[in-house]
Amino acid sequence: MNFLEEIFFGNPLYDWLVAAVIVVALVLSLQFVKRLLIRRLTKLAGKTAARLDDFIVDILSHTRYLFLFILALYLGLQYLELPPKPTRYITHFTIIVLLVQVALWGNRGIVLWLSDYLKRHKESDPAGATTMAVMGFIARVVLWSVLVLMILDNLGFNITALVASLGVGGIAVALAVQNILGDIFASLSIALDKPFVIGDFIIVDDILGTVEYIGLKTTRLRSLGGEQIVFSNAELLNSRIRNYKRMFERRIVFGFGIVYQTPHEKLVRIPGMIREIIETQEKTRFDRAHFKGYGDSSLDFEVVYYVLHPDYNLYMDIQQAVNLGIFQKFAQQGIDFAYPTRTIYVNRSESSSGVEADSR
């Protein structure tokens, strides 16, 4: 009997050798087709401005060599006559590898699309970019969850009973990780409701900073001092948040006092002076200026105006110009600013009929 005709696992050795040659030939062929296809698509993608063809090239380049080998092995084994049980196992294993490879392609596609969206919209639409970052994570979780269910179904598990049992066990798991789940649901609330987005300047209680990162569990601020401040999402939403990026204009209230010796006619002209000084500044809207009341050592005025832009540095430049204008105008009109004073009356003797005042 010829050695090549000896039977191994129900097939002659010659057939096993032929199957091995088919597997090697298929592996080399599939690898060659992959490289050729990627090279052709890369040249085509370089001639167009569309992003879809770039995505396809990147996704195909992430095809695993193990997947090509398993596919070639499965096709090569079709040449042989194997018992039903091994054939069933090989088929299940090949389907699982195929599902994993499809999931890897899908995951890569989601990552590429999300990265491209964030790159193009992070500056123009930070709210949308924040939402898409969270939705991208959810899409990947759904993708891999579906993959696991399909693999279990392929292996013969009862998916309906499994999902029902997971629902009961999920209650216990949810109770154990309720803090983590609270942060995750809070991140979804941030993504959908958008109380703030990346790049916004916010104040949380007495902590202020620029939103630098919004994750599934934490949100991170970059403070004015330079350090990074980390909040859990649930804690953040339970706090009062002031979002200065959403401010359209600033309402400015400030006051000053003048001495009691100021004549009445000058006192009457002061609100008009203040109005004139403020209205000469660009991007301002005057509201009011009033003689507010009598202080301990000054006649007090209160002024209200609006800066028609939220920028803090612009507000400080305008306020500085207003202060300098008031100082100059009062100097020209001979109006003195008040400062804390105290008047003491001293009775030198009981027989003295006059009272001498010492003021300082």
Cα 274 to Cα 8, 240, 298, 323, distances in angstroms:
104, 35, 18, 10
Q: What is the dihedral of CA 321, 327, 328, 333, to 10 degrees?
A: 140
Token pair for 101: 């490879």
Task: CATH number of the domain at 242, please.
Answer: 2.30.30.60
Q: Looking at the structure, tell me whether residues 108 and 157 fall in a common domain.
A: yes
Q: Looking at the structure, tell me whether residues 169 and 35 fall in a common domain.
A: yes
Q: Looking at the structure, tell me whether residues 155 and 241 fall in a common domain.
A: no
Task: CATH number of the domain at 272, please.
Answer: 3.30.70.100
* Residue 223 and residue 209 in contact, taking contact as beta carbons nearer than 8 Å: yes
Show the domain range for 219. Answer: 194-246
User: Highest-confidence range of 136-145, 316-325, 351-360, by mean pLDDT?
Assistant: 316-325
Dump pLDDT digits (tens) for 148-176: 878 877 777 776 665 665 555 555 555 55
Total domains in the chain come to: 3
Q: Looking at the structure, tell me whether residues 226 and 145 fall in a common domain.
A: no
pLDDT of 90 over the 90 cut:
no
Q: Looking at the structure, tell me whether residues 76 and 154 fall in a common domain.
A: yes
* pTM recorded for the entire structure: 0.49
Dump pLDDT digits (tens) for 91-107: 888 888 888 888 888 88
Token pair for 174: 């949810």
Q: Looking at the structure, tell me whether residues 23 and 170 fall in a common domain.
A: yes
